[in-house]
């Protein structure tokens, strides 16, 4: 498996502010992914974070709202910008590990509540 | 658009019962199907299936994939209260390893 640490674990944010979530992996990985899980919903892919290039965003997600950094092969950040109550979600970092057949593992998640 | 459908949406069983959770999919460029257990925040990996007809087993949990009929099942035998969780099915497609998730099945095991 993979050890994936996320910070913060939980936060309450004011409307209009921005928050950066950090994801640290215990070893180098090529691909890192950011997912969102809104209350009562399943997981939706926001973007794929590639080291050395810009993130690839899924339909409905834009870089201005969710800027992503990937400075090296073990770390990534996701910023949720200009937050509104609709951004209240769990944000999850995930990685693909080639050991055991290219399985995808998830971090512990960051639970954001926007008030 | 890729689509993953899980059934039932929720299920309440008594401890010791056997349950079967279903996952059907319609996707392009299928690579694999994954099952996860989500209790609080992080989905915990259970199985990855790539070939039809080969059962994956871990303790009381098992899963199998049918690529012709485009579905998978997850079986849990002799259920325990600790099995209470949301079980997520996800399909990986394409070269970018994107996962498309179903809505999940919420399982509650009562004494």
**Tens digits of residue pLDDT in B2-48:** 899 999 999 999 999 999 999 999 998 899 999 999 997 789 999 99
Measured in Å, how far apart are chain B's first and last C-alpha atoms? 41
Single out the residue of A3, A2, A4 nearest to residue A109, CA to CA. Answer: A4
Residue A13 pLDDT more than 80? yes
Residue A1 banded pLDDT, cuts 50, 70, 90: low
Task: Report the distance separating Cα B74 and Cα B100, nearest Å.
Answer: 17
List of E strands, A60-107: 68-72, 75-80, 89-97, 103-106
Distance (Å) from the alpha carbon of A14 to chain B's nearest alpha carbon: 22
Considering only the beta carbons, identify the residue of B43, B48, B97 that sits closest to A106: B43
Per-residue pLDDT at A31 = 86
Residue A99 pLDDT more than 70? no
Residues A18-32: pLDDT tens digits? Answer: 999 999 999 998 889
Single out the residue of A76, A63, A61 nearest to residue A30, CA to CA. Answer: A76
Q: Are B41 and B62 in contact (CB under 8 A)?
A: no
| Closest CA in chain B for residue A93 | B42
Hey, how many other C-beta atoms are within 10 angstroms of the C-beta on A23? 27
Considering only the beta carbons, identify the residue of B42, B45, B100 that sits closest to A103: B45
Considering only the beta carbons, identify the residue of A42, A45, A56 that sits closest to B102: A42
CA distances from A54 to A3, A62, B11, B42 (A): 24, 12, 42, 26
Residue A101 pLDDT more than 70? no
Residues A38-96: pLDDT tens digits? Answer: 988 889 999 999 887 889 999 999 999 999 999 999 999 999 999 999 999 999 999 98
Cβ–Cβ below 8 Å for B42 and A109: yes
Q: Are A55 and A47 in contact (CB under 8 A)?
A: yes
**Whole-number average pLDDT of chain B:** 94
Angle at CA of residue B65, ends B47 and B28, nearest 5°:
100
* Mean pLDDT along residues B39-61: 91
* Mean pLDDT along residues B46-69: 94
* Mean pLDDT along residues B84-111: 92
Whether residue B104 lies within 8 A of chain A, CB to CB, comes out as yes
Per-residue pLDDT at A83 = 97
The SS3 assignment for B107 reads: strand
CA distances from A100 to A42, A48, A74, A85, B48 (A): 25, 21, 19, 39, 9
Residue B96 pLDDT more than 80? no
Per-residue pLDDT at A100 = 59
Task: Report the distance separating Cα A30 and Cα B75, nearest Å.
Answer: 33
Residue B77 pLDDT more than 70? yes
Per-residue pLDDT at A3 = 87
Hey, how many other C-beta atoms are within 10 angstroms of the C-beta on A89? 22
Chain A residues in contact with B50 (beta carbon < 8 A): 101
Of A19-23, A106-110, B76-80, minimum mean pLDDT range: A106-110
Residues 77-106 of A with CB under 8 A from B: 90, 92, 94, 96, 101-106
Count of residues in chain A: 115
């Amino acid at each position: 498996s993979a050890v994936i640490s996320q910070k913060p674990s939980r936060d309450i944010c004011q409307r209009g502010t921005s928050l950066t979530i950090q994801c640290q992996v215990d070893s180098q990985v090529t691909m890192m992914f950011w997912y969102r899980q809104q209350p009562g919903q399943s997981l939706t892919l926001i973007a794929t974070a590639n080291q050395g290039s810009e993130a690839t965003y899924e339909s409905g997600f834009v870089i201005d709202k969710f800027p992503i950094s990937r400075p090296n092969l073990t770390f990534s950040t996701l910023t949720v910008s200009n937050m509104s109550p609709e951004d209240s979600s769990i944000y999850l970092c995930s990685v693909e590990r080639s050991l055991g057949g290219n399985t995808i593992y998830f971090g512990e998640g960051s639970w954001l509540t926007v008030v | 658009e890729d689509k993953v459908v899980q059934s039932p949406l929720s299920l309440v069983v008594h401890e010791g019962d056997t349950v079967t959770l279903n996952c059907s999919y319609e996707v392009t460029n299928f690579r694999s199907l994954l099952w996860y257990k989500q209790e609080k925040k992080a989905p915990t990996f259970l199985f990855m299936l790539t070939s039809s007809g080969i059962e994956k087993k871990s303790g009381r949990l098992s899963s199998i994939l049918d690529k012709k009929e485009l579905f998978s099942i997850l079986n849990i035998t002799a259920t325990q209260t600790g099995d209470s969780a949301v079980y997520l099915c996800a399909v990986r497609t394409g070269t970018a390893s994107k996962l498309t998730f179903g809505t999940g099945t919420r399982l509650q095991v009562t004494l």
